Structure 1
Amino acid sequence: MEIQQSLNHLKKWPSQEAATKLKWKKILFHTKSKSETPPEEFLCPVSRSLMFDPVIVSSGHSFERASVEACKNHNFTPQLPDGTTPDFSTLIPNLALKSAILKWCQTTQTPPPHPNTNLVPTPTQKPKPSHKDSIFNQNPLHHAETETPIRPTHLYSSSEESIATTSASTPPLQLSTRPSCCYSPSSPSSSELEPATTPEEEQITLSLKNPDPHVVEEALASLRNLTRVREETRLQLCTPRVLSALRSLLLSKHATVQVNALASLVNLSLERANKVKIVRSGMVPPLIEVLKNGSSEAQEHGAGALFSLSLDDDNKTAIGVLGGLAPLLHMLRSDSELTRHDSALALYHLSLVQSNRSKMVKLGSVPLLLRMVKSGHMTGRVLLILGNLGSGSDGRAAMLDAGVAECLVGLLSRTELTGSTRESCLAVMYALSHGGLRFKAVAKAAGVVEVLQKVEVRSERGRHKVRKILEVMRAKEVEEEDVDWEELLDSGLGCRTRSRLVGGFDESTANSAEF
């Protein structure tokens, strides 16, 4: 029915009779050309991106060098689809594979892969100053509000990372920067100094390693209290020895020990200078295990820890590579509201990175998020995640397949919709509008033009998005009669080329949303 309605609308467009209609049908169902999909052997088994510097490891598998270094530095050994585990003890450059990848890129006109510098922060690298983690709420019962920057105004290939950068001309988002499981006030972190060994740290480390569970429980309770309100204590106690002792307790069979260990880790992660140290200490794999098999209270703290760690740009790709996306998506269906909210915020920050967005699409996140929007559950935060996913072609295709455009039209038609939710809907629709002719056909059938003409938008950014979407919908569908559409479809460039011809948009324009 929707396809027929779309074709009825297309009758007003420049006619090319039956052959043209057939080509339009191909476009409606065209998500990604086979020629654009790289061969499986060209993709790193860990990052799932085209390899820039492929290496052969001792077990005979080929990986991206940066992925191997990330796994080794984070004490993580991935399990491959065939159930085997690789041996990273020796790395040999795979020059033949690198040459084959570059030749394939040249043949298919695909942008060549670029080195991934975000997977492995060097041991001597100090955390970069970030305004996102410097302002905490003084009210112990609520999230802190601070600025989250907008993504850059361009997109990257599958092998590049789209890390959030500050935009001076665009008001940043307003999002929480502390996990919901934290109820104590905190002050800004300004110290970049490495914590020195202190008698306090020595005593806590020895107590955490004590074989007596009662001694461990007392030490964890003390550590949790010490790190709850004192910034200098969080910096001094975030040492390799303390983190190593904590890591072994995150999966403790004693519920009290596990919960206090997780809560202490969340407190330590509040300091910007500690976030990279914690991820590099190997905390992410046990946190993932907590989300999969922990108690409800443990999962609350586990989701809070991953959310806090995801605020640092150097951690975003690592958490995705180490397998944090799937359990966080599962936690969106948790019975605990705190777990759901912290998981959603973690996914929002992690989806600022291109490789994580691609993984989330493949994990089936779009249908799950759409169901949450339809049910009215955490609509604002879920729309922000969808806005991030819509900045990539694979995410837009999945969203159009799932019916996100029709759902957004239904939401925008509601008079009781809040202003922030309306702005988020427009941001997602704006991201989808870069989907070219396929979006236009779906949007016409859904009546997006009529709804946008009636919707009340107060902010200038929202009105700008409405104007741009309407320009896409009203632009001429065919500006050159001699375009060989069949050749474009066969080359895998049809949707992208037509989107440039239609409305002046292309893949270089990224979605930006405000909350």
Structure 2
Amino acid sequence: MGKNGKHRWKISFYHRRTDAESKPTQPPKEFVCTISGSLMSDPVVVSSGQTFERVSVQVCRDLGFTPVLEDSTTPDFTTVIPNLAIKSAILSWCDSSGAEHPRAPDYDYVATIVRTKMKESSSPSKSDSNPDLRVSERELLNTMAENPPVLFPRAATELAYRAQHFYSSSSEESVIVSGAADSGASPFTPLPLATQPACFSPPSSNSSSEIVEIENQTVNQDNFSGSNSSCAEEEEIVAKLKSSEVHEQEQAAISLRKLSRTKEEIRVSLCTPRLLLSLRSLIASRYCVVQTNAIASVVNLSLEKANKVKIVRSGFVPLLIDVLKAGSSESQEHAAGALFSLALEDENKMAIGVLGALRPLMHALRSESERTRHDSALALYHLSLIQSNRVKLVKLGAISTLLSMVKSGESASWVLIILCNLASCNEGRSAMLDANAVAILVGMLRQGSGTVESAATRENCVAALYALSHGSLRFKGLAKEARAAEALREIEERGSERAREKAKRILLMMRGREEEDEEAEWESLLESGALGRNRHRVGFDGKYVGGPNSSNF
């Protein structure tokens, strides 16, 4: 302060922004529409699984344009579903990065971009440079015009690990299914679920009379030999698949099914955009044999990891869902198997859920076919490994359906692994506790006669209870009411290694919470002074002496 006492300190609140702060953060690639190139304001998922701006899809539909994406695939704009998960993520990113919320792009602006892309795609240099993209839009429409749907005889699948084959490692909870238990396995070993659909039959399996019948009808494999056998096979099959003659479609579908079943090494090379586009139209065929063999071919091709995303992006999921809803028993077996195989790939999980596969798969759990039930359960298990699908299943009322199936013993071992995933999210955990899941699961623990199925079911019950016990204050009270401690102590003594480990943790958690509750109760009493009003002193003669804070009894 100066001599006159009038000097004032001036504090500047001006903050000089650095270059890093002044430059807007680039949005993640998945938040940008690949057609308009702008941040999406109303993202939608199309039939092939990709996400675009709604206006971009509308412009492409109006102009009859199908763009070729970076991965050389073409989207299918037949179905459009709002992608609320991506929209929420975009808005959260905008809020955290300080960017403005995106606005819907102008229709004319997007139309100008699309017309430019149409000119570029129609240039000779572009089409000649990529020989894989040989199917024009008109040719695609022609191949889809009159290809009657077909149903196939089953192809039996083995529930065993395949050496040097793709297996999903995204399981978040170690649970076990019937026939997959390993008494010597660590309790932290990932879940050893089958990764081949029950409708797939390895080449060595010739027990099915239906498969033998198909093989007798199949064209001679010698026709597909030569140095460029894969290319020649594709050309011959595609030509027949696109034929207007149902008999040729049938023979091509049967040939493709056998070829993709017996020759694992050419599955990836066979799975080209041309073949997939030709095969897709046969999934909707009204001819049973054509449709069944076409779906079985999709199952075989989807066994290779490299093909899984291609198949989803080629628009097969909505067609498989339709078959699962209204197809014959055999075609439903293959459709469920295909969805299960495609759901093994993490990149497909959200797309399959958004495209509406969850409800039909839930319905298929009560199918008369054991194979359909098996593959539908495993498809739901893998789809429910991501949060968005877990929430969708809870909103669909899946909890009460699954618990009723557990209670009645219908596919209990498979249903429990789905419940384990649902119990790992707050929405699923609350819904399960509301539906009396603790009492139902404890009741299942008390059942069983020592069989393999019973052991697997009991172990999965413990895993589900373990998932429910995390972060839930209600669990202890419900578990105490259901007398869970008795059943868990029995598992701790006689159960498998996995089950014993989880039962031990649940019991420790329950005891720990009881001690915490007692400590909290004493602390609240001390803080409230309730004990202070009843305090007393002890005299030298051992008698109680009332003090100023004591009460007379």
Tell me the alpha carbon deviations over residues 364-401 of structure 1, each in whole angstroms, 9 at most, x when there is no partner.
11111111111212111111111111111111111111
What is the alpha-carbon distance in structure 1 between the residues aligned to residue 186 and residue 197 of structure 2?
Answer: 27
Q: Cα offset for 1:480? A: 4.6
Q: Report if the CA contact (8 A) 2:199-2:333 is conserved.
A: yes
Match of 2:416 in 1: 383
Q: Letter of the aligned partner of 2:194 in structure 1?
A: S
SS at match of 1:198: helix
Q: Report if the CA contact (8 A) 1:207-1:215 is conserved.
A: yes
The answer to which of 261-270 and 466-475 deviates more is 466-475
SS at match of 1:176: coil
Q: Cα offset for 1:420? A: 2.0
- Between the aligned residues of both structures, percent identity stands at 50
* TM superposition score normalised by structure 2: 0.60
Note the 1:170-181 alignment, pairs <5 A: 170-181=188-199
Note the 1:274-353 alignment, pairs <5 A: 274-353=307-386
SS at match of 1:149: coil
Q: Report if the CA contact (8 A) 1:148-1:172 is conserved.
A: no
Aligned residue among 477, 480, 489 for 1:441? 477
Structure 1 residues 74, 428: closer, same or farther in 2, change over 3 A? farther
Match of 1:144 in 2: 160
The structure whose Rg is larger is 2
What stretches of structure 1 of length at least 5 have no aligned partner? Answer: 1-51, 104-138, 154-166, 188-194, 485-515
Match of 1:401 in 2: 434
Q: Report if the CA contact (8 A) 2:43-2:87 is conserved.
A: no
* TM superposition score normalised by structure 1: 0.64
Q: Letter of the aligned partner of 2:76 in structure 1?
A: N
Match of 2:50 in 1: 70
Q: Letter of the aligned partner of 1:413 in structure 2?
A: R
Q: Report if the CA contact (8 A) 1:71-1:77 is conserved.
A: no
The answer to which of 457-466 and 375-384 deviates more is 457-466
Q: Letter of the aligned partner of 1:395 in structure 2?
A: G
Match of 1:464 in 2: 501
What is the alpha-carbon distance in structure 1 between the residues aligned to residue 355 and residue 49 of structure 2?
Answer: 12
The answer to which of 474-483 and 216-225 deviates more is 474-483
Q: Cα offset for 1:447? A: 1.0
What is the alpha-carbon distance in structure 2 between the residues aligned to residue 341 and residue 94 of structure 1?
Answer: 34
Q: Report if the CA contact (8 A) 1:259-1:297 is conserved.
A: yes
Q: Letter of the aligned partner of 1:207 in structure 2?
A: K
Structure 1 residues 75, 168: closer, same or farther in 2, change over 3 A? farther
Match of 1:183 in 2: 201
Q: Cα offset for 1:250? A: 0.4
Structure 1 residues 185, 354: closer, same or farther in 2, change over 3 A? farther
What is the alpha-carbon distance in structure 2 between the residues aligned to residue 280 and residue 179 of structure 1?
Answer: 20
Q: Cα offset for 1:65? A: 8.1
Structure 1 residues 319, 398: closer, same or farther in 2, change over 3 A? same
RMSD: 3.8
User: Does structure 1 residue 261 correspond to structure 2 residue 294?
Assistant: yes
Q: Letter of the aligned partner of 2:464 in structure 1?
A: V
Q: Report if the CA contact (8 A) 1:249-1:257 is conserved.
A: yes
What is the alpha-carbon distance in structure 1 between the residues aligned to residue 242 and residue 448 of structure 2?
Answer: 59
What is the alpha-carbon distance in structure 1 between the residues aligned to residue 331 and residue 87 of structure 2?
Answer: 41
Q: Report if the CA contact (8 A) 1:150-1:173 is conserved.
A: no
Tell which has more relative contact order, 1 or 2 (C-alpha 8 A, sep 6+): 1
Aligned residue among 413, 422, 427 for 2:458? 422
Q: Cα offset for 1:296? A: 1.4
Tell me the alpha carbon deviations over residues 259-281 of structure 1, each in whole angstroms, 9 at most, x when there is no partner.
11111111111222211211121
Q: Report if the CA contact (8 A) 1:186-1:231 is conserved.
A: no
